[in-house]
Structure 1
């Protein structure tokens, strides 16, 4: 959030994504309710129609002289609606049931279309958000000097400049400068230095002395097996394996097949520099 209280572009985009998600869910619920209501109403009308018919007679099939099958209403007495009126009513009910199937088919198509478009829009917005995050990463981490009393304060203060999910935890209050976080947590066999709980999952920070490919594989494997909802992971180290600093990095990260975003960050006395942005 800017100094004048206006939301940043990343925050506005995040809010738009959340609103789209809410609209998507509400629309799907409305379609489902419409399908159920239509089915119940028409089914009940069919049921009560047959109940009413059975009070006064029955509809039977007969063959005429040419062998054609016709529907005939056989009344219980002469004091009843005309036979033609009953047949018209019955035919109307048949067409109504056919229309019921057609409407359900159309609503089902609408349901599938909304689901497809909703996912497509969310994917597109997430792609835009990721581009903004990459740009914000480069601007804030590569050009700014970290502020804070220790390593945790510095990385979290910097991260707040990048991720609106963290900024929202501050509530826009200038007098509240620290995020609510937990330290020295254990996930599987891994000791996690910092965890911040956000609406999209845990924001995890892990400080390493040295990171090799094997270290990275073991670390991500333990996180994946934990089953926790993870929003993003920052791996921060002063030293990385030569493989991770080579052209092989992209294929190594793809091979990890992560369900969450993870970034690799160099740390030195001057600040941070990005090795990998997911």
Structure 2
């Protein structure tokens, strides 16, 4: 069995998103290198061509007094080495080369913007699918299974590792090896003490245990974390009870008022396990 076969669908999606980001960056770098290389080559050719022209004379605009038309003409400094018509033709070629340079740069710039737009669009679609799978996994694991572990810290982390690929990756491919998540307890963030902090590649995974929780409690806790400017991946608020406002149909509006830049989930801690109140 290959390593990919051992991964959950959420983990595969997470890897696909990372690979897409890498491909996106590499493509953008290639476009930028192409732009710079093209610009340098054409600019140098224009420079040396102009130097060669200046050795023998100069290009000037001559107005036909009869017709009023303006034409380009080569005015030599001394005895001509090349015909004036040839010099004018070369000069016109240089003008077309400059125009082509602008056109190619414009096309590459359009390609740059298109790749940026499409790459972000695909990444957003994959992220949406991943979030839906995480939500389903959340509900299945937290609502229907009994947590494993001797302490409440072990129980919530064991359950969480079944949901989030970011935590699963810290355990390795095979949990039977007996590996445990590297975590810290009783960490102080600003003036708030959190029960669990797990450092992941996307930021800190934070768990805070409560007894009774009101919206004011959640608001103060969320604002404290936001002020810390820490890179936070996800926050789990695990409580034995939430007030009536948080259990009403106003919950969605209340959570939106928090204006969070990270994900926060509200979880009931019950005798035999957990149940979900809010999944961000």
What are the equivalent positions in structure 2 for 1:82-121 lying under 5 Å apart? 82-121=83-122
CA distance in 2, matches of 1:110, 1:194: 45
Q: TM-score normalized by structure 2?
A: 0.95
User: What's the counterpart of residue 146 of structure 1?
Assistant: 147
Aligned length: 278
CA distance in 1, matches of 2:201, 2:145: 27
State the shift of 1:31 in Å.
1.4
What are the equivalent positions in structure 2 for 1:203-222 lying under 5 Å apart? 203-222=205-224
CA distance in 2, matches of 1:168, 1:255: 33
CA distance in 1, matches of 2:4, 2:22: 28
User: What's the counterpart of residue 175 of structure 1?
Assistant: 177
Cα RMSD for the two superposed structures: 1.8
State the shift of 1:65 in Å.
3.2
User: What's the counterpart of residue 132 of structure 2?
Assistant: 131
Contact 2:56 2:80 in 1 (8 A): no
Deviations 1:4-39 (A, max 9, x none): 962111111111111111111111111111112222
SS of residue paired to 2:213: coil
State the shift of 1:244 in Å.
0.4
Q: 1:194 aligns with which of 196, 204, 227?
A: 196
CA distance in 2, matches of 1:52, 1:277: 71
Deviations 1:123-146 (A, max 9, x none): 111110111011101110011111
What are the equivalent positions in structure 2 for 1:40-79 lying under 5 Å apart? 40-66=40-66, 67-79=68-80
SS of residue paired to 2:71: strand
SS of residue paired to 2:177: coil
User: What's the counterpart of residue 252 of structure 1?
Assistant: 254
Contact 2:7 2:173 in 1 (8 A): no
CA distance in 2, matches of 1:151, 1:204: 14
CA distance in 2, matches of 1:3, 1:62: 75
Q: TM-score normalized by structure 1?
A: 0.96
State the shift of 1:177 in Å.
2.7
State the shift of 1:78 in Å.
2.5
Contact 2:62 2:72 in 1 (8 A): yes
State the shift of 1:77 in Å.
2.7
State the shift of 1:79 in Å.
4.8
SS of residue paired to 2:242: coil
Moved more, 30-39 or 239-248: 30-39
Contact 2:4 2:12 in 1 (8 A): no
SS of residue paired to 2:261: coil
User: What's the counterpart of residue 37 of structure 2?
Assistant: 37
SS of residue paired to 1:80: coil
Deviations 1:207-231 (A, max 9, x none): 1122110011111111111111111
